[in-house]
Amino acid sequence: MSTDAAGLVKILEAVADKINENREFLTELDSAIGDADHGINMSKGFSAVLEKLHSQEFGDCGAILKTVGMTLVSTVGGASGPLYGTAFMRAGQAVAGKSSLNFDDFIAIMDQALEGIKYRGKAQRGEKTIIDSLEPAVEILKNEKDSTDRKSVMNKALNAAKEGVEYTRSIIAKKGRASYLGERSIGHQDPGATSCYLMLQAAIQKIKEMSG
């Protein structure tokens, strides 16, 4: 796989569309264990991202991702803005100055996004957060980075993220508002882990379409 700055914008458009399509679903999940605004906030944030990306020309992939991050920080309420904003800004740093991206760059982007979320949220796997879906996917990507069947690797990563989302149903929330519920949070799917999976799903699908 390889893409230039214009291709990266298309991938991000697909991510934004996926979030907007699932606005009500994410908000419904959040109504059970949070503030009932995750879908609303994420949709608002990515609508602002699209406006920003369409208002200027980009040649630097790192600058694109940094712009996404800064926009999310300034427009998404709650914890999601700083978490996803940091993820995209760290991702931008990983590919700063690059006019095109390859599979190794994609892995670096995902890895740094994960590290950014862990740093900002002071969280780890097993606490019912974004990390429960993102970290398993990143592990697959890193462990199988030398595979020649990259579509298969991306599919495995996506499946790992989906399993991570399912896993959040069985554990107690230890971060954010959901943590106030204690054991009552068991049985509920984490909205953040879900939005992360949906974003990854949209990105991977668009990458595979563009790769032919």
Q: Is 123 left (phi over 0), alpha (psi -120 to 50) or beta?
A: beta
Euclidean distance between CA atoms 24 and 19, whole angstroms? 10
Give pLDDT, residue 211. 84
Mean pLDDT of all residues in 86-101: 97
Q: Tell me how far apart the terminal alpha carbons of the chain are, to the nearest angstrom.
A: 9
32 has pLDDT over 90 = no
177 has pLDDT over 80 = no
CATH of the domain at 77: 1.25.40.340
Any idea what the Cα angle at residue 128 is, between residues 126 and 133, rounded to 5°? 80
Range in 115-119, 126-130, 137-141 with the lowest mean pLDDT: 126-130
Euclidean distance between CA atoms 128 and 132, whole angstroms? 6
Give pLDDT, residue 178. 60
- Which domain, by its residues, includes 80? 2-211
- Distances in Å between the alpha carbon of 2 and those of 6, 103, 175, 202? 12, 7, 37, 17
82 has pLDDT over 80 = yes
- Structural domain tally of the chain? 1
Give pLDDT, residue 151. 93
- Distances in Å between the alpha carbon of 164 and those of 59, 61, 129, 161, 187? 34, 29, 10, 5, 14
pTM for the full predicted model: 0.93
Closest CA to 37 of 46, 28, 48, 49: 28
Q: Positive or negative CA dihedral for 40, 78, 71, 155? A: negative
Supply the angle between the helices 23-33 and 191-211 in degrees, to the nearest 10: 160
Mean pLDDT of all residues in 78-82: 88
Mean pLDDT of all residues in 34-41: 86
180 has pLDDT over 50 = no
Give pLDDT, residue 188. 77
Euclidean distance between CA atoms 40 and 32, whole angstroms? 15
Give pLDDT, residue 36. 79
Range in 118-122, 151-155, 176-180 with the lowest mean pLDDT: 176-180
